[in-house]
Structure formats: structure tokens, C-alpha cells
């Protein structure tokens, strides 16, 4: 083509092509060129996988938008805008692929282009090394594509902060369009290095690779944007059921009201709870006034103790101070009152005030001032069974949802007397998280991955120590440009999977998906996929 001295890569391709031409009698050239077809098909499957996974993220954006539009809208708009850029660039590549095949195949083009499909196995010009230079270099499309790739790269980088070093370096490396100079001082442009002096079928594969790179970058960017929806939120890793009554003392004929909710807390960073008088200095700005008491905090909860020396209402309050992710501290005032009165019913769940279907839920029940052998516990409306175990009780729901009432009666003066009841919600055991060697995603050392025994199901931060058994999984990766998929029963890594792991190269992606686990309730559960990048 006359575009300067050939690079070593181009010289090597030229020598290989000359050699393959001489070996036509042995069909070596055809086999080598046909391998490009297999690579193209593998890249096409990879693009489909990225599109499926990315669509799930966009769907989750839509779901979160219906929950909190003000919070989600800015990040969704950025994600939607980036999707438009991605789709536009991918459409340009598809148009170039179609135009290139039309030029290269000419009268044979109807056998190659089937609507939106490209049957490059039917190409007559697979081995032609001139069409790439003509279509992309002489006619200028390579320079246009380079400009679009640079615009896309800059748009992606503009959405990321400098702290996201890993993603930024990956984008810059993947979409590096700089020219290079060989040892003789000859400058070779990106478009010439990418498309010139290579077989026509290889030009198609290069376009497929660019599309795969773009979809990969889209995945990284939109996943980062989705995480920003909750980046400024308080980080909680545990839940506790909480019941707050309007009063602990109710006169006969009056109504008893209680607020029941789940309280979240961070088990790694306790809040500061101060009891005493306080004043407001401005919006969400409070400070203590005079002497105050600092409560000891365990698992996100402070325990306030006061001897009840006389009957009547007692009021107290203070501030709860919580560190925010940005380093500032938020103060939340609270006011409470309690009645010092005669003994009343006490039902204290030893785990949470939620009963989980399929397992025994321990509950401690007592009536102050009444001996344990004078207390009778029942579930009048059904929906669960209850039995006494030691000094406590165990409740096992027989339905998967709804509520169940635990009623208590006490023998007083030889006669049974109702002491009241309490409603409990019934929930199913939450979904565990699939992990390998304690990790569910990200980069992982190949040696660590090779030492793994299999996939485990981890029920994180759950109140019960329950075990889940993995019943099946599928391992997917790319080997020599082709998608390799292995389906297994159970959770163990057998020799086939270990051999696959042993052959992984640096930066290879290993996807473990279609994971199913069964817990003590006997209900099969589909777990989220594990995605590793091998270091």
C-alpha cells in the first residue's frame, strides 16, 4: 500500500501468509484462516454475555428509580447517556463490518451478510490482505473510528474519579490509540497497525474485538455508577428487630400501640449514645447541655438502666451520634418515657421478633412475678407449632409468610388469666451469597484460586448459624479466544475444573454462575454469579 516501512508484526504476518500460501496443498492455510472464524464466534458470544449482564444493571437502575427518584436520577441519567454512546459506537462498528464485507465479497456478499448476521465462514476473500488497507486507511474510516474510540474513552474517564485507578488504567490500556515508532524511526498509526496488511477475516475479528472491549468498559462504568447510588449512605451490616410501645403501662379499656421495625447498625463502628439534656443549634445540629451519661454500646445498641424507685411516668432522652462516610458526624435526638407500674407480660425473642420458616426459632417468655410452671403458652390462630425446651420455647412456623400470634396465660390464685399476646412476622431464610475462598468477585491470585476446594454458600450476618449446600454450578471462561463452559453437580472443584483454573492466564475472567443451593428449609435457591479476574 506504500504507507511506510512495515512493523515487525506486519512482517511476521506477511511471512506467515507467504508460508501458508505455499502450503495450500495440505489445507494448512484454510485451517488457520478458519480459526479466525471460531475466534469471531467466541467474541460474539462474549458480547452477548456482556449485553445480558449490562441490561440487568440498567433494569436495576429502573427499579431503584421507582423507589427513590431524587437519589437515583442523577446516576441513572449518566448511565443512560453512556449507554447511548456505547450503542452508537457499537452501531458504527457494525456498519463498518457490513461495509467492509460488501467491499471484500462483492458478488458473494449475499452469502456472507444475512440480515443482521454475518456468515464469515462463507467468505471467499478470507486471505486477502489488501481490502483492510483500502477500506480503513485509503478511504479514511480507520481514522474516523480512532476518533470515535478516543471520544468514548474520554467520556468514560470523565465519569470516574481519580481514585478509581484500576478501572481508569484498564480503560486507557484497552483503548490505547497512540501511534508507535519502530527501531528505524518509522511512525506507524494505530489504524494502520490494526487493519493494514492482515487477512480480511482478521479485519473482521479486530472489529469484533473492539466491540468486546467497548462492552467490557461499559460494564465497568455502569457498575461504578450504580454503586454511587448508595455511596453516601450509612453503611450497616446487621439488622435487629425493635418494638417501641407508646407506653409500657395501659389502663383497662385503653388501647395499646407499638411500633415494630428493623433497626440497622454497623457492627464494626459503634455509635455514641449520650443521655441528658441537649439543645438545637441549627438544622440537624445538636449539642449536649450540662452533665450527661455516655452509654456502653454493644452491637449498635446502648442499654440505659435506671432503678424504678416509685410509680408513675419517667421521661428521658439524649443524642445518638453517628460518623458519616465523609468523616462528619450526624446527631439524632431522641425522647422516651416509661411507666413504673405493676408487673406485665414480657415476651423477649432470643434472636429477633421474626420467625423464620423451616427452622426452630427460640423465644424466651416470662411474666414477672409468676413462676415458670404457672405459665401456659399457645398459638391460638395456628400457623406454627411451639414447644418448651429447657427454660425457653421454640416456635416452628408451618407457613412461609404472614404473621403468627403467641398468647400467654398465667395461673393466678388457682385460675387461668390471659396475660396478652404478641404478633410475630414469618419470613423465609434470606438468600446466601456464593463465595470461593471467601471471595465473591474481584481480582484473585491464581494460586489462591487453584487451592480452592469449591463453591460455598455463606449466609452473611444472619442471626442463625445455618448451613447451605451447593447443588450445582457452571464455570465459564475464555480459553484461546473461545468460550469454555463446564457444568457441575454439587459444589466441589473436581479435576476438570482445577485443570481449567490451572490453565488460566493473567487478566482472564472466570465466571461461576447458575449456582443453586439448598438450606435447612429444603427450598432450592439460585445464587448470584461469581466473577473473578485472575491476577
pTM: 0.46
Count Cβ atoms below 10 Å from residue 488 Cβ, excluding itself.
20
Q: Could you state, in chain order, the average pLDDT of each consecutive group of 10 residues for the chain (535 residues)?
A: 42 43 43 82 90 94 91 94 96 94 91 87 90 93 94 95 93 92 87 92 93 95 91 62 55 54 66 87 80 84 75 77 71 75 52 81 80 86 89 89 91 82 88 90 89 90 85 91 90 91 89 92 88 91
Exposure b/e, 14-26, CB count within 10 A at least 16 = b: eeebeebeeeeee
C-alpha cell at 297: 454500646
Packing angle of the helix pair 141-158, 200-227 (nearest 10 deg): 20
Measure the CA–CA gap between 118 and 43, rounded to whole angstroms.
Answer: 13
Instruction: Cell 414447644: give the residue.
Output: 387
Instruction: Cell 446502648: give the residue.
Output: 302
Helix (H, G, I), strand (E, B) or coil at 472: strand
Instruction: Kindly state the DSSP code that residue 164 receives in the 8-state scheme.
Output: -
Contact status, residue 384 vs residue 426, Cβ threshold 8 Å: yes
CA angle at 210 for the pair 5 and 97, rounded to the nearest 5° = 85
N- to C-terminal Cα separation, the chain: 41
Measure the CA–CA gap between 151 and 172, rounded to whole angstroms.
Answer: 12
Secondary structure string (H, E, C) spanning 411-434? EECCEEEEEEEEEEEEECCCCCEE
Helix (H, G, I), strand (E, B) or coil at 503: coil
Contact status, residue 369 vs residue 401, Cβ threshold 8 Å: no
DSSP symbols for 34-81: HHHHHHHHHHHHHHHHHHHHHHHHHHHHHHHHHH-HHHHHHHHHHHHH
Measure the CA–CA gap between 298 and 205, rounded to whole angstroms.
Answer: 59
Contact status, residue 239 vs residue 261, Cβ threshold 8 Å: no
- What is the per-residue pLDDT for 22? 41
Measure the CA–CA gap between 154 and 163, rounded to whole angstroms.
Answer: 16
Instruction: Cell 527501531: give the residue.
Output: 183
C-alpha cell at 503: 490453565
Count Cβ atoms below 10 Å from residue 528 Cβ, excluding itself.
13
Contact status, residue 397 vs residue 356, Cβ threshold 8 Å: yes
258-265 vs 272-282, strand pairing mode: unpaired
C-alpha cell at 73: 436520577
Helix (H, G, I), strand (E, B) or coil at 267: coil
Give Cα separations from 274 to 239, 243, 333 (angstroms): 22, 21, 9
C-alpha cell at 156: 468514560
Amino acid at each position: 500500500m506504500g504507507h511506510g516501512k512495515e512493523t515487525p508484526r506486519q512482517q511476521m504476518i506477511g511471512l506467515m501468509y507467504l508460508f501458508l500460501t505455499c502450503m495450500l496443498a495440505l489445507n494448512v492455510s484454510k485451517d488457520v484462516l478458519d480459526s479466525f472464524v471460531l475466534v469471531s464466534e467466541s467474541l460474539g458470544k462474549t458480547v452477548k454475555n456482556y449485553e445480558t449482564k449490562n441490561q440487568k444493571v440498567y433494569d436495576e437502575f429502573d427499579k431503584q428509580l421507582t423507589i427513590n427518584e431524587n437519589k437515583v436520577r442523577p446516576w441513572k441519567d449518566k448511565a443512560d447517556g453512556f449507554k447511548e454512546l456505547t450503542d452508537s459506537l457499537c452501531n458504527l462498528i457494525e456498519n463498518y463490518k457490513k461495509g467492509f464485507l460488501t467491499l471484500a465479497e462483492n458478488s458473494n456478499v449475499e452469502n456472507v451478510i444475512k440480515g443482521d448476521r454475518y456468515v464469515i465462514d462463507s467468505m471467499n476473500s478470507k486471505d486477502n490482505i489488501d481490502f483492510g488497507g483500502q477500506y480503513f486507511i485509503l478511504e479514511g474510516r480507520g481514522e474516523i473510528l480512532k476518533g470515535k474510540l478516543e471520544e468514548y474513552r474520554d467520556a468514560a474517564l470523565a465519569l470516574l474519579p481519580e481514585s478509581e485507578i484500576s478501572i481508569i488504567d484498564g480503560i486507557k490500556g484497552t483503548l490505547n490509540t497512540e501511534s508507535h515508532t519502530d527501531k528505524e524511526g518509522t511512525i506507524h498509526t494505530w489504524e494502520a497497525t490494526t487493519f493494514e496488511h492482515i487477512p480480511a477475516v482478521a479485519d473482521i475479528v479486530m472489529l469484533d474485538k473492539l466491540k468486546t472491549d467497548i462492552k467490557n468498559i461499559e460494564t465497568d462504568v455502569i457498575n461504578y455508577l450504580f454503586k454511587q447510588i448508595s455511596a453516601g449512605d450509612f453503611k450497616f451490616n446487621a439488622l435487629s428487630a425493635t418494638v417501641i410501645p407508646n407506653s409500657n403501662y395501659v389502663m383497662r379499656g385503653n388501647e395499646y400501640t407499638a411500633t415494630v421495625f428493623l433497626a440497622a447498625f454497623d457492627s464494626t463502628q459503634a455509635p455514641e449514645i449520650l443521655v441528658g439534656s441537649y439543645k438545637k443549634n441549627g438544622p440537624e445540629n445538636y449539642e449536649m447541655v450540662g452533665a450527661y451519661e455516655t452509654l456502653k454500646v454493644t452491637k449498635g445498641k446502648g442499654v440505659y438502666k435506671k432503678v424504678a424507685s416509685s410509680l408513675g411516668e419517667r421521661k428521658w432522652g439524649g443524642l445518638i451520634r453517628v460518623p458519616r462516610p465523609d468523616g462528619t458526624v450526624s446527631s439524632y435526638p431522641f425522647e422516651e418515657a416509661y411507666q413504673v407500674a405493676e408487673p406485665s407480660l414480657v415476651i423477649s425473642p432470643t434472636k429477633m421478633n421474626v420467625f423464620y420458616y423451616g427452622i426452630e426459632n427460640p423465644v424466651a417468655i416470662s411474666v414477672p412475678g409468676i413462676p415458670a410452671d404457672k405459665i401456659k403458652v399457645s398459638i391460638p390462630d395456628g400457623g406454627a407449632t411451639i414447644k418448651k425446651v429447657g427454660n425457653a420455647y421454640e416456635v416452628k412456623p408451618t407457613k412461609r409468610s404472614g404473621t403468627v400470634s403467641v398468647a400467654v396465660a398465667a395461673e393466678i390464685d388457682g385460675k387461668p388469666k390471659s396475660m396478652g399476646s404478641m404478633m410475630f412476622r414469618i419470613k423465609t431464610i434470606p438468600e446466601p451469597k456464593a463465595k470461593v475462598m471467601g471471595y465473591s468477585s474481584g481480582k484473585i491470585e491464581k494460586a489462591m484460586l487453584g487451592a480452592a476446594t469449591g463453591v460455598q454458600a455463606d449466609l452473611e450476618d444472619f442471626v442463625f448459624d445455618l448451613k447451605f449446600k451447593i447443588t450445582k454450578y457452571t464455570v465459564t471462561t475464555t480459553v484461546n479466544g473461545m468460550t469454555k463452559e463446564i457444568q457441575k453437580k454439587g459444589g466441589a472443584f473436581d479435576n476438570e475444573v482445577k485443570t481449567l483454573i490451572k490453565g488460566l492466564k493473567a487478566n482472564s475472567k472466570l465466571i461461576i454462575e447458575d449456582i443453586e443451593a439448598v438450606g435447612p428449609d429444603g427450598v432450592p435457591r439460585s445464587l448470584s454469579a461469581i466473577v473473578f479476574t485472575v491476577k
